[in-house]
């Protein structure tokens, strides 16, 4: 076998590529000799944290993955659930954190491109994108640079390819200053019986690479950057500038052609299996296809269409150039496959064959330059046990105070509505096309979850219109205070959002964003968070169908907040009855549904007041929360609610203000001491905790909302002000406030000043 270089790489080279001494020695053992340059590069990427999940795989095995609606679970490019009518919904969330911290526009854009390829790789047409973003405080120059770049990148890619961005979230916290988070979720639809696997099969079948040409852009990008802490990067060059060549460059117009080409190849039955090229490029896609199919592969890199001349074999194999797919086909169908590629103006080339050797062999014009066992590359990376160590003191500095606890309730409400984490996201989502494809029933800030119609609607134009609902949620500050209960609450929040539009949750995806798991306190955060994720999904009967893990999210100032991002998909029988969050009509009664236990611990108000994170959160009654969700969901489906909104960040007062602003109408509310006894006005108005819903509707309709679930009438819709009164027996004094809608709107629009 020819070696790529006359001198074999050394241990120092392996360490530079991210392997440990012990891992390098294990590679030598599996090879029966020291690896050459190509082999070492392939091992280093496939044994990286990003590809191998070597610090998290054991934990992930504890999560529930089976359920009555699951069609495709973890292990494929995306998970899928049955949504009725012979259709399946494919969905997944992934991160592009480290590339986005280096080059935010391309990092975020290619993050969208990558998650879309995961969807159409299993044969589903993408119908929506959502994003979950984290940055430092927006007053900082770096945070603003990253925010502008990431939002522009998401909008550019999604708008150009014609897939609507229908929802998402963004938070601003100091721990994300150096290491931002850019998580993208996508979902698509496909006939249930026509989903495609990525497992290679058929000895002698051909490997065809199609899409864009292969260049040096992105070499070692996602796989290397996502497996190491960032030393630091700034928006004007500096240390980050040297890392920018590792960030992939995307072309949404090329991806649109690739999407249509892939779906036509699948529709015509020309493919045996299909896989997208993402992190680690050909190395990852080909090896994983071979591993899933229990076969081997021979790849001749001389047959790969190149964008740049004189690329070394290892460069071809690890390039992360975007907009590429790898498929397995029967030899007799090559001409038909290439004809479809030509129709859609994408490059296509046969670059290898499926073999029965169970080895990954790389050739150059027929000359062997790399030979590795598929099992060694993919399945035998060492997995590590975590060593959790609960911290004995605070891990994060308290935020700078911008509000006094002595402020009046009115001042607190306006400050919360204006704070970066609660202000209207309109300046962001207006950069995205939310209605392309004409499925969008509920857009951002119209409801707690996005709603997308399933077409065509059965029963004719006058019949019910079945629809999907989707939500994405996470609160890193609350998880930092209590990884178990904070994660559990994030799952409940996602399900509550679906309940508010009338949707039953079918499946869950997740993206676990954490710091360095080799540190005891981070290992503890991750372990407790996964435990909370599993317990919540089991309690709600909403299995995990796929996801992603992003570790080593740390900068010079320390780790990010532990941030599990939860995505959930549900189904509702009739989009025409999808819930809205805005109050609808004067005279409607306002009621609280559920067992609400508000607390200021780790709340937005606590942040504004500069308080240190607490050591733990209050226990959550999951059964009570689920009962409230069921009650709200059924009420929305029956059409007896004019509005439904779960009480989340900012508490009841902020939820009331959001309902007023979304509906363009005021409200008068009185909180009696029978419910709020002894917790104090601030906690009553601004305390947070899962389980409470704010609904409105006709008085008689709300009376029998749900048996066994607390329902308390608290006020009436109407007027041009939000009036809130708390009975005086709570704190020994009367608390009342009144705020005009235009003042609420002015505070809520504070984020727009950043984009003026």
Three-class secondary structure assignment of 218-251: CCCHHHHHCCCCCCCCECCECHHHHHHHHCCCCC
- CATH top-level class of 409-755: alpha beta
Confidence of residue 227 (pLDDT cuts 50, 70, 90): very low
DSSP string covering 483-511: HHHHHHHHHHHHHHHHHHTTPEEEEEEEE
Predicted pLDDT at 705: 82
Indicate the average pLDDT of the chain. Answer: 92
| Cβ–Cβ < 8 Å for 608, 402 | yes
Burial (0-12, 13-18, 19+ Cβ within 10 Å), 512:
buried
Q: Measuring CA to CA, which residue among 403, 421, 510, 391 is closest to residue 688? A: 421
Predicted pLDDT of residue 688 = 94
Q: Where are the domains of the chain?
A: 409-755
Dihedral sign (CA 389, 477, 649, 448): negative
Contact 497, 578 (CB under 8 A): no
pLDDT per position as a tens digit, 600-629? 999 999 999 999 999 999 999 999 999 999
When pLDDT is averaged across residues 695-719 and rounded to a whole number, the result is 89
Q: Which residue has the higher pLDDT, 117 or 756?
A: 117
pLDDT at 231: 46
Q: What is the spatial distance between Cα 455 and Cα 449, in angstroms, rounded to a whole number?
A: 19
- Two structure tokens written together for 747: 């505070």
Q: Which of 133, 94, 8 is nearest to 751 (CA)?
A: 133
pLDDT value of position 596: 81
Q: How far apart are CA 289 and CA 273, in angstroms?
A: 8
Return phi, psi of residue 479, to 5°.
-70, -35
Residues 6+ positions from 754 with CB-CB distance below 8 Å: 138, 144, 147, 427
Closest CA to 646 of 636, 635, 632, 660: 632
Q: Is the pLDDT of residue 459 over 60?
A: no
156 is catalytic: no
Cα–Cα distance for residue pair 186/167, rounded to 1 Å: 11
pLDDT of residue 221: 44
Q: Which of 244-258, 349-363, 580-594 has the lowest mean pLDDT?
A: 244-258
Nearby residues of 451 by Cβ (< 8 Å), 6 or more positions away: 440, 441, 442, 467, 468, 469, 501, 503, 572, 575, 578
Q: Which residues share a beta bridge with 90?
A: 80, 188
Among the ranges given (97-106, 226-235, 645-654), the one the predictor scored with the smallest mean pLDDT: 226-235
Please state, in angstroms and rounded to a whole number, the distance separating the CA atoms of residues 251 and 55: 33
Please calculate the CA angle 148-150-152 and round it to the nearest 5 degrees. Answer: 65
Of the residues 50, 69, 98, 645, which is catalytic? 50
Give the pLDDT band (50/70/90) at residue 218.
confident
Query: Catalytic pick from 55, 96, 156, 521?
Result: 96
- pLDDT for res 675: 58
Rounded CA separation 616/696 (Å):
33
Token pair, residue 533, equals 């994720």
Look at residue 109 and tell me whether its pLDDT is greater than 80: yes
Q: How far apart are the first and last CA of the chain?
A: 62
Share of the chain above pLDDT 70, in %: 93
Inform me whether the pLDDT recorded for 1 exceeds 50: yes
**Residue 223: band (very low, low, confident or very high) from pLDDT cuts 50, 70, 90:** very low
346-382: burial string, b at 16+ Cβ within 10 Å, e else:
bbbbbbbbbbebebbbbbbeeeebbbbbbbbbbeebe
- Where is pLDDT greater, at 672 or 239? 672
**Reduced to 3 states, what is the DSSP secondary structure of residue 328?**
strand
Predicted pLDDT at 557? 87
Instruction: Name the percent of the chain in helix, strand, coil, to the closest 5.
Output: 35, 25, 40
Q: Give pLDDT, residue 224.
A: 44
- State the pLDDT confidence band at 6, using cuts at 50, 70 and 90: low
Query: In terms of DSSP bridges, do strands 79-84 and 87-95 run parallel, antiparallel, or are they unpaired?
Result: antiparallel
509-556: pLDDT as tens digits: 999 999 999 999 999 999 999 999 999 999 999 999 999 999 999 988
Q: Name the residue among 142, 181, 173, 135 with its Cα closest to residue 608.
A: 173
pTM (predicted TM-score): 0.94
Residues 6+ apart with CB under 8 A from 180: 97, 100, 101, 104, 133, 134, 135, 136, 143, 146, 150
> Where does the pLDDT of residue 756 fall: very low under 50, low under 70, confident under 90, or very high at 90 and above?
low
Q: What is the pLDDT of residue 7?
A: 80
Considering only CA atoms, which of 335, 330, 382 is closest in space to residue 24?
A: 382
At residue 720, the pLDDT reads: 96
* pLDDT for 219: 79
Residue 645 appears among annotated catalytic residues: no
Phi, psi angles (nearest 5°) of residue 571: -125, 140
**Ramachandran angles phi, psi of 93, nearest 5°:** -125, 140
Q: Please give the full DSSP string across 594-619, using - where no structure is assigned.
A: S----B-TT-HHHHHTTPPPPS----
Alpha-carbon gap, residue 36 to 32, rounded angstroms: 12
The pLDDT of residue 148 is 93
- Please give the Cα distance from 263 to 122 (Å, whole number): 9
pLDDT of 690 higher than 50: yes
Confidence of residue 461 (pLDDT cuts 50, 70, 90): low
């Amino acid at each position: 076998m020819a070696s790529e270089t006359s001198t074999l790489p050394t241990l120092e080279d392996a360490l530079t590529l991210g392997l440990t001494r012990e891992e390098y020695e294990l590679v030598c053992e599996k090879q029966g000799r020291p690896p050459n340059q190509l082999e070492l590069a392939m091992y280093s990427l496939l044994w990286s944290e990003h590809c191998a999940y070597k610090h998290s795989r054991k934990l992930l095995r504890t999560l529930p993955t089976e359920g009555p609606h699951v069609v495709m679970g973890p292990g494929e490019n995306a998970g899928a659930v049955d949504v009725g009518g012979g259709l399946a919904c494919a969905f997944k969330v992934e991160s592009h954190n480290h590339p986005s911290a280096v080059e935010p526009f391309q990092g975020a854009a290619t993050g969208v491109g990558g998650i879309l390829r995961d969807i159409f790789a299993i044969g589903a047409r993408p119908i929506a994108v959502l994003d979950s973003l984290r940055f430092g405080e927006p007053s900082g120059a770096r945070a603003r640079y990253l925010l502008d770049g990431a939002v522009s990148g998401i909008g550019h890619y999604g708008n150009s390819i014609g897939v609507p961005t229908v929802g998402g979230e963004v938070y601003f916290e100091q721990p994300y200053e150096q290491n931002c988070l850019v998580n993208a979720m996508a979902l698509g639809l496909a006939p249930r019986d026509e989903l495609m696997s990525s497992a290679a099969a058929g000895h002698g079948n051909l490997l065809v690479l199609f899409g864009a040409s292969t260049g040096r852009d992105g070499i070692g990008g996602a796989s290397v950057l996502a497996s190491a802490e960032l030393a630091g990067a700034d928006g004007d060059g500096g240390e980050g500038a040297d890392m920018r060549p590792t960030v992939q460059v995307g072309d949404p117009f090329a991806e649109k052609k690739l999407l249509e080409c892939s779906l036509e190849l699948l529709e015509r039955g020309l493919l045996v299996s299909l896989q997208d090229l993402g992190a680690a490029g050909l190395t990852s896609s080909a090896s994983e296809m071979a591993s899933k199919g229990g076969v081997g592969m021979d790849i001749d890199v001389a047959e790969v269409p190149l964008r740049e001349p004189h690329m070394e074999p290892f460069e071809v194999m690890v390039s992360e150039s975007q907009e590429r797919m790898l498929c397995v086909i029967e030899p007799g169908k090559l001409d038909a496959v290439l004809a479809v590629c030509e129709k859609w103006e994408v490059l296509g080339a046969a670059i290898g064959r499926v073999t029965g050797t169970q080895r990954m062999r790389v050739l150059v014009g027929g000359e062997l330059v790399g030979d590795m066992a598929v099992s060694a590359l993919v399945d035998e990376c060492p997995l590590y046990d975590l060593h959790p160590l609960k911290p004995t003191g605070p891990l994060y500095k308290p935020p700078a105070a911008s509000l006094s606890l002595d402020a009046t309730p009115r001042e607190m409400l306006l400050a919360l509505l204006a704070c970066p984490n609660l202000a209207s996201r309109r300046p962001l989502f207006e950069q995205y096309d939310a209605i392309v494809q004409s499925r969008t029933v509920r857009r951002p800030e119209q409801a707690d979850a996005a709603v997308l119609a399933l077409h065509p609607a059965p029963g004719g134009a006058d019949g019910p219109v079945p629809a999907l609902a989707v939500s994405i949620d996470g609160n890193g500050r609350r998880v930092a205070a209590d990884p178990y209960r904070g994660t559990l609450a994030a799952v409940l929040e996602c399900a509550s959002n679906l309940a508010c539009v009338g949707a039953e949750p079918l499946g869950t995806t997740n993206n676990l964003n954490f710091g360095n798991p080799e540190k005891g306190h981070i290992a503890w955060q991750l372990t407790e968070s996964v435990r909370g994720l599993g317990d919540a999904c089991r309690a709600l009967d909403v299995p995990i169908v796929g996801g992603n893990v992003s570790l080593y999210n740390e900068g010079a100032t320390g780790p990010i907040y532990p941030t599990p991002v939860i995505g959930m998909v549900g189904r509702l029988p009739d989009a025409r009855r999808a819930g809205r969050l805005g109050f609808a009509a004067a005279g409607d009664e306002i009621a609280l549904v559920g067992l609400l236990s508000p607390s200021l611990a780790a709340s937005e108000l606590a942040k504004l007041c500069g308080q240190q994170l607490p050591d733990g959160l209050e226990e959550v009654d999951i059964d009570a929360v689920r009962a409230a969700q069921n009650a709200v969901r059924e009420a929305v489906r029956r059409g007896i609610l004019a509005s439904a909104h779960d009480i989340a960040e900012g508490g009841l007062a902020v939820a009331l203000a959001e309902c007023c602003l979304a509906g363009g109408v005021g409200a008068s509310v009185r909180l009696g001491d029978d419910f709020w006894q002894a917790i104090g006005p601030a906690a009553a108005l601004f305390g947070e905790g899962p389980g409470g819903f704010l609904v409105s509707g006709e008085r008689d309709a709300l009376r029998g909302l749900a048996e066994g679930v607390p329902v308390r009438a608290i006020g009436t819709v109407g007027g041009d002000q939000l009036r809130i009164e708390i009975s005086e027996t709570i704190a020994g004094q009367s608390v009342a406030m009144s705020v005009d809608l235009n003042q609420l709107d002015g505070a809520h629009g504070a984020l727009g000043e950043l984009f003026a």
